[in-house]
Amino acid sequence: MTAHMDTGWCTRTALLSAIVLIASQISGGAFGQPAISPEIAPRGKLRVAILAVNPVLMARKPDGTSSGVAIDLGRFIADRLGVPFEPVLYSSAEAYARSFGQGEWDIALGARGARAELADYGPNFMLVDNLYVAAPGREFADAGQVDRPGVKVAVAKDGAPDRFLSRALRAAEIVRIPAGRVAAIEALRSGKADVYGSNGMIVHAVADGLPGAKVVPGQFTIVPQAIAIPKGRSAAAQGKLAEIVTEAKRTGLVQKAIDQAGVRGVRVAPQ
Q: Which sequence spans correspond to the domains of the chain?
A: 37-127+223-268, 129-221
Q: Taking a C-beta distance cutoff of 8 angstroms, is the pair 107, 227 a contact?
A: yes
The per-residue pLDDT for range 111-152, each reduced to its tens digit, is: 998 899 999 999 999 999 999 999 999 999 999 999 999 999
Q: Which of 33-47, 161-175, 251-265 has the lowest mean pLDDT?
A: 33-47
Please tell me the predicted confidence (pLDDT) of residue 90. Answer: 95
Decide which of 92 and 227 is more confident.
227
**High-pLDDT (> 70) share of the chain, %:** 87
Q: pLDDT tier at 172 (50, 70, 90 boundaries)? A: very high
Q: Which pLDDT belongs to residue 62?
A: 82
Residue 7 has pLDDT above 90, yes or no: no
Q: Which CATH number fits domain 129-221: 2.130.10.30, 3.40.50.1000, 3.40.190.10, 3.40.640.10?
A: 3.40.190.10
Mean local confidence (pLDDT), 45-73: 92
pLDDT, residue 60, reads 85
Interval 220-226 mean pLDDT: 95
Q: Tell me whether the CATH fold assigned to 37-127+223-268 matches the one assigned to 129-221.
A: yes
Q: What was the pLDDT predicted at 22? A: 38
Say what the pLDDT of residue 264 is: 86
What mean pLDDT value characterizes the chain? 88
Kindly state the average pLDDT of the residues 174-203: 95
Return the CATH number of the domain spanning residue range 37-127+223-268. Answer: 3.40.190.10
pLDDT given at position 144? 95
What does the pLDDT average to over 70-81? 98
pLDDT at 168: 96
Residue partners of 119: CB distance under 8 A and separation at least 6: 100, 108, 228, 229, 230, 231
What is residue 14's DSSP assignment? H
Q: Are 189 and 234 in contact (CB under 8 A)?
A: no
Q: d(Cα 145, Cα 20) in Å, to the nearest integer?
A: 70
Task: Compute the distance between CA of residue 13 and CA of residue 244 in angstroms, rounded to an integer.
Answer: 41
Lowest mean pLDDT: which of 12-16, 38-42, 190-194? 12-16
- Is residue 75 over pLDDT 90? yes
The predicted pLDDT at position 21 comes to 39
Cβ(33)–Cβ(70) under 8 Å? Answer: no
